[in-house]
């Protein structure tokens, strides 16, 4: 008997037959307005803990603050297998409960926390980023427990409350303290249906403050020096960060080529978006300056979100930013905040990548392959700890962080199937005892 194939069929059949339960779980998660800021995860965390408890799974709560809870729930490998060999593989399934704020409710065509299904889509804030994927992880883990699948390794569900505002109280907080262990990880961040993301660009968030001389607004520019006008010159100068030439390592040149082709051919992709894979991007995120409309601004602070390709160090971006501002005649110093780090990836030959890509192809019947992501994510923290990781989740990519966020229902169901099969492929399942002999291990 091919036990792995047999469990594959059973898991796929169960998810197909119980897809309404999966979608209701997703709807329930969306109905919790877990916006960050403020970042209160208590209510949604209690719901998840209760849901897992009904499947026989206990959860450990690690509070980073009174309102932010990290949850760790582990399915340990089969008891018989424990007696035979030490645990070798430990898989972490990771998702975050926080979502970006819904913003102006008048600009939504539906209640952003409705969690309704219409015309083949799950509606609401977080449907794509990332409660659709989170529901799939929770559902797949609960199903593996309910069916008593004899996994040969540990499967841990790590659910964090903080990702959208930098994530410092989520994944890195847990990993740095050794509260979750893994030899591989999968994050349910949104991706293409056939293209998990196996690497991310680096990040270099920074800000600079410009000082001016106040004066009466009616006399500007004769009297006073506007900090806002000076900051505008700095903003223009910083656009030259795009011109930094990366020294792309040979080992990532092929995946960059593949990712560029994917960006060009992806439905709905912005024209020219493929260029960001080998350029430093510059987004002027916020500008705060002045005290009153009729007063010459005495101070202005600008925050910049820069994403860094392979072959460029984020510290070099900071240095270049300082130089550009000085060349523009602005005496200031850039200060880092938020996301900081270099581009990183998990090579396609890693077992977890091969297993998840194989699961996608098995479920979809189509060719799947990994690509790079031009944004950043919690994946960098796993790689910092030496844990191979990739991302795969359901999404309508064009709606992420925007109004009218939604996710295709068929992708939510597909991803849950992929999560279940990936756990089975990566961890394996124990063979049943034969003629009274101890269980032997079966590997996929």
Catalytic residues: 98, 163
Q: Which residues contact 74 (CB under 8 A, 6 or more apart)?
A: 154, 155, 156, 157
Cα–Cα distance for residue pair 285/95, rounded to 1 Å = 26
**Got the DSSP string for 202-270?**
EEEEEEEEEE-B--BGGGTTTSSB-HHHHHHHHHHHHGGGGGPPP---HHHHHHHHHHHHHHHHSTTPP
* Radius of gyration, CA atoms only, the chain: 24
Cα–Cα distance for residue pair 191/233, rounded to 1 Å = 37
CB 20 within 8 A of CB 117: no
Maximum pairwise Cα distance, the chain: 97
Closest to 296 measured CA to CA, from 353, 345, 223, 383? 223
Planar angle of CA 263, 165, 306, nearest 5 degrees = 50
Q: Residue 277 corresponds to which tokens in the numbers above?
A: 């894979």
What order do you get walking across the sheet with 121-123 strand by strand?
117-118, 121-123, 406-408
The strand pair at 344-345 and 121-123 is best described as: unpaired
Cα–Cα distance for residue pair 428/277, rounded to 1 Å = 36
């Amino acid at each position: 008997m091919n036990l792995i194939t047999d469990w594959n069929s059973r898991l796929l059949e169960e998810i197909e037959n119980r897809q309404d339960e999966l979608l209701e779980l997703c709807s329930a998660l969306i109905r919790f307005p877990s916006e960050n800021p403020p970042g209160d995860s208590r209510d949604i965390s209690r719901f998840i803990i209760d849901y897992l408890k009904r499947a026989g799974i206990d959860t450990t709560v690690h509070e980073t603050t009174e309102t932010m809870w990290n949850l760790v729930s582990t399915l340990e490998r089969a008891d018989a297998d424990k007696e035979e060999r030490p645990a070798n593989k430990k898989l972490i399934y990771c998702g975050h409960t926080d979502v970006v704020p819904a913003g102006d409710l008048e600009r939504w065509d539906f209640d952003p926390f409705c969690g309704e299904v219409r015309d083949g889509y799950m509606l609401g804030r977080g449907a794509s980023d990332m409660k659709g994927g989170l529901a799939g992880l929770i559902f797949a883990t609960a199903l593996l427990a309910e069916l008593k699948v004899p996994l040969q390794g540990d499967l841990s569900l790590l659910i964090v409350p903080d990702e959208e505002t930098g994530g410092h109280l989520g994944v890195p907080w847990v990993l740095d303290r050794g509260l979750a262990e893994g030899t591989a990880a999968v994050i349910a961040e949104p991706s293409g249906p056939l293209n998990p993301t196996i690497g991310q660009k680096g990040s270099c968030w920074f800000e600079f403050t410009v000082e001016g001389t106040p004066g009466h607004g009616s006399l500007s520019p004769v009297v006073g020096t506007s900090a806002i006008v000076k900051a505008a010159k700095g903003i223009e100068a910083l656009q030259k960060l795009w011109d930094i030439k990366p020294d792309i390592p040979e080992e990532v040149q092929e995946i960059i080529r593949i990712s560029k082709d994917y960006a060009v051919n992806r439905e709905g992709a912005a024209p020219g978006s493929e260029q960001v894979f080998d350029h430093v991007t510059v987004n002027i995120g916020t500008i705060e300056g002045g005290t009153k409309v009729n007063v010459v601004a005495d101070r202005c602070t600008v925050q910049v979100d820069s994403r860094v390709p392979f072959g460029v160090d984020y510290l070099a971006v900071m240095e270049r930013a300082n130089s550009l501002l000085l060349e523009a005649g602005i005496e200031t110093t850039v200060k880092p905040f938020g996301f900081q780090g270099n581009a990183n990836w998990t090579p396609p030959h890693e077992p977890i990548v091969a297993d998840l890509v194989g699961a996608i192809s098995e479920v979809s019947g189509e060719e799947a392959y990994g690509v790079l992501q031009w944004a950043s994510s919690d994946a960098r923290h796993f790689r910092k700890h030496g844990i191979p990781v990739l991302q795969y989740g359901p999404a309508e990519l064009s709606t992420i962080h925007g109004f009218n966020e939604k996710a295709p229902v068929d992708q939510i169901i597909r991803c849950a199937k992929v999560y279940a099969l990936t756990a089975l492929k990566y961890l394996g399942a124990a063979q049943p005892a034969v003629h009274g002999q101890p269980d032997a291990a079966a590997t996929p």
